[in-house]
Amino acid sequence: MSDPTLLILASLADGEKHGYAMVKDIRTFAGVRLGPGTLYGAITRLEGLGWIRPIVTNDRRRPYRLTPEGRRHLKAQLANLHQIVSAARRRLEHA
């Protein structure tokens, strides 16, 4: 699983994070290191879709958090993934 947008949504699921924190978090839970261009490309798209929102701060590191719509989308994506994973697992067991 290396879809940057899903990884960012998953990273923000437990609270707000800035860019560097997301990179570290994603590397920890998914084993994927997102490059700066990939990370901010995905952040730009997700903000444009209204699924994440920046938090106003004086720090250069601007944190982001999930919007309710982004949370709904993440849940839908995870449910879909869960269905795929379950189906694949069942098939492997019966193979």
Partner 1 sequence: MRKLAQFVYRLYPPAWRERYGAEFNSLLDDLTLSWRDVFDIFMGGLMMRITRSEVALITVVAGVFGAVLGGIVAWRVPPQFQSSGVIHIQMWSPSPALAAGAVERLANTAFSPDKLKPLIEDYNLYPQIRSKRPLEDVIQRMRKDIHIEPRSGTTFQVSFAYPDQEKAHQVTLKLMEHLDEANLAELSRTDDWKSPDAWKSASAERVLALPNRLESAGLIDVRAATISPSPAGLVGQRLGSIAVSRVMLKQLIESQDLYREDRAKQPMDVVIQRMRHDIRIEPRSSTALQVSFVYPDRRKAQHVMLELMQSLMKAYLTERPVSDDRNAGFSFRITPAQTVANLTRINIVGVGLGGGLLLGLSVSVLRRRLWHASA
Nearer to partner 1, 48 or 68 (CB): 48
Contact 19, 40 (CB under 8 A): yes
Q: How far is the CB of 16 from partner 1 (least distance, A)?
A: 13
| Angle made by CA atoms 70, 84, 48, in degrees to the nearest 5 | 20
Helices within the chain (DSSP H only) = 4-11, 19-30, 36-49, 68-94
**Tokens 């697992």 correspond to what residue?**
89
Nearer to partner 1, 18 or 53 (CB): 18
What x-and-dash track marks residues 20-59 binding partner 1 by CB under 8 A? x--x-----------xxxxxxxxxxxx-xx----------
- Chain residues in the site for partner 1 (CB under 8 A): 5, 18-20, 23, 35-46, 48-49, 60-62
